[in-house]
Chain A
Amino acid sequence: MMHGFANPKRFLTLASWLTPLLLAAGLVLSGGALWWGLTQVSPDRLMGETVRILFLHVPAAWLGMGGWTAIAISSLVYLVWRHPLAALAARAAAVPGLVFTLICLVTGSIWGRPTWGTWWVWDGRLTSMLVLAFLYAAYIALAQAAAREGVSARIPAIFGLVGAINIPIINRSVVWWNSLHQPPSITMGNSAIDGEYLAPLLVAVVGFSLIFGGIVLARMRALLADIQAEARLRRRASEAV
Chain B
Amino acid sequence: MREALDQWDFVLAAYAVGVVGTLAIIAWAWVDMKRAERRRAESRRK
Q: Do A and B bind each other?
A: yes
Binding site for B on A (CB under 8 A): 19, 23, 27, 30, 34, 38, 48-50, 52-53, 56-57, 60, 95-96, 99-100, 102-103, 106-107, 110-111, 113-114, 208, 211, 214-215, 218-219, 221-223, 225-226, 228-229, 232-233, 236
A103 contacts which of B11, B21, B33, B36 (Cβ < 8 Å)? B21
Binding site for A on B (CB under 8 A): 5, 7-8, 10-11, 13-15, 17-19, 21-22, 24-26, 29-30, 32-33, 35-37, 39-40, 42-44, 46
B7 contacts which of A107, A114, A232 (Cβ < 8 Å)? A114
B40 contacts which of A52, A56, A225 (Cβ < 8 Å)? A225
B29 contacts which of A53, A102, A106, A219 (Cβ < 8 Å)? A219
Instruction: Please report whether the interface of chain A is mostly helix, strand, loop or mixed according to DSSP.
Output: helix
Q: Whole-angstrom distance from the CB of A54 to the nearest CB of chain B?
A: 10
Q: In the complex, what residue of chain A is closest to B22 when comparing beta carbons?
A: A211
Instruction: Please report whether the interface of chain B is mostly helix, strand, loop or mixed according to DSSP.
Output: helix
Cβ–Cβ < 8 Å partners of B36 in chain A: 221-223, 225-226, 229
- Chain A to chain B: the 8 pairs with minimum beta-carbon distance, closest first: A225-B36, A56-B18, A49-B7, A222-B36, A218-B29, A225-B40, A229-B43, A222-B33
Q: Is the CB of A218 within 8 A of B30?
A: yes
Q: Is the CB of B29 within 8 A of A110?
A: no
Distance of A226 Cα from B32 Cα, bound (Å): 10
B10 contacts which of A19, A50, A95 (Cβ < 8 Å)? A50
Given contacts A50-B11, A52-B11, A114-B7, contact A60 B18 (CB under 8 A): yes
Instruction: Jot down 10 A-B pairs with beta carbons below 8 A, ordered by A.
Output: A49-B7, A53-B10, A56-B19, A57-B18, A103-B22, A222-B32, A226-B40, A228-B40, A228-B43, A232-B44
Q: Is the CB of B14 within 8 A of A222?
A: no
Distance of A229 Cα from B45 Cα, bound (Å): 11
Distance of A226 Cα from B8 Cα, bound (Å): 45
